[in-house]
Structure 1
Amino acid sequence: MITKETLQFLKDIKENNNRDWFMANKQRHDDARANVIDFAAEVVKLLSKVDPKVKEDTDVRKCVLRIYRDIRFSPDKTPYKRNFGISVLQNPGGGRGPEYYIQIEPGKSFVAGGYWMPESAHVKAIRQEIDYNADELKQIIDAPEFVKLFGNFRDQDKLKTLPRDYSADNENIDLLKLKSYIAVHQLKDDELLKKDSAAKVAEICSKIYPLNVFLNNALS
């Protein structure tokens, strides 16, 4: 599970986002990161039993993103993130693609999966798959359990104009206009503090698995 100390560290760094405070509290960061790594390891272990693309021997230290922000092109010059991110890629070392993502941030934690803002070639391939096999995707995203966990899949960022090669009268135009293909489930702090929190997160990821299969098929 995620510990109270990890959440408190993240609350504190939000209020003290500067190098002097961070260096004075470096051990707290290291302890919190170790907690998140242990949590990620348990999630990956459980998820590997559902998704064959997720390997149980994944080096989870590489899945936990660094807390240091890239401020080179950002007007926000605070040096540290206010969260720990866990990215479980389905094609480690093979470039961008569908993934599972877990964010640990007091009051703003969530589990997500799918493919966020794909590159243009991948968008084209996914749209083609939707055009050919929309019923398969709709069976996944319109299933009552999926909607209960993640809401309406269609309610995410869309093109304001029609995508190239598709007409307004296409029965699946609402799906074809999507810019991302993600499912997101919010987590409360007390859910993360429970002993079975890793199992709960892995279970939520397992409900995203069919969506990732669809997306991977589009890209294969």
Structure 2
Amino acid sequence: MNQVLDLVGIFVFALSGALVGVRRKLDVVGMAVLAAVTALGGGILRDLILNVPPAAFFSVGYVVTPLIAAAIVFFWHPQVERVMPVVNVFDAAGLGLFCAVGTEKAMDYGLSPLHATLLGVTTAVGGGVLRDMLAGQIPVLLYDRQLYAVPALLGSAVMAVLYVLDLHGWPATLAAAVLTFALRIAAVRFRFQAPLARGVTADE
């Protein structure tokens, strides 16, 4: 079940990466690269930090899924853009799943709760940061105006606390993922935004 959820999250993240490629007018190779980096980058960064072989290199599905997403966007990007509200719901679900799984894996490898939380966030948003850098734009993480990283941070922190309380496994993962999902959806629905520096307005 976890692998199925992983692949769903990878697929949705890959769609968003490929769409950035379309908007930046990249060719099919560039779209595929952005799709793969967005979907797999965070998990690869996590595993490299943990000094373990990246899980993406041991599953054909992890490689094929981003390519399928890139192909769908290549041929039908106008239709994908139209259903982006639905895609964003799955994106929020993927965000929650990845931050929870990343935090739990970090705790399994002996990291402190604080460091595991940070690594959980890295798992969830690292691919998006790499995508934006490759696409030549400021990473969305650095101006988190729609609260993307904040829900991941809170979800990862909850996962770390549950683990310390010896409440881990799929129930804890699900609880942390649902919390992240709910916060992300609420941020989109009610337009919650992270504050700017004192005296700075959004127009500046």
Instruction: Using structure 1 for the length normalisation, give the TM-score.
Output: 0.27
Greater fraction strand: 1
Greater fraction helix: 2
Instruction: Using structure 2 for the length normalisation, give the TM-score.
Output: 0.28
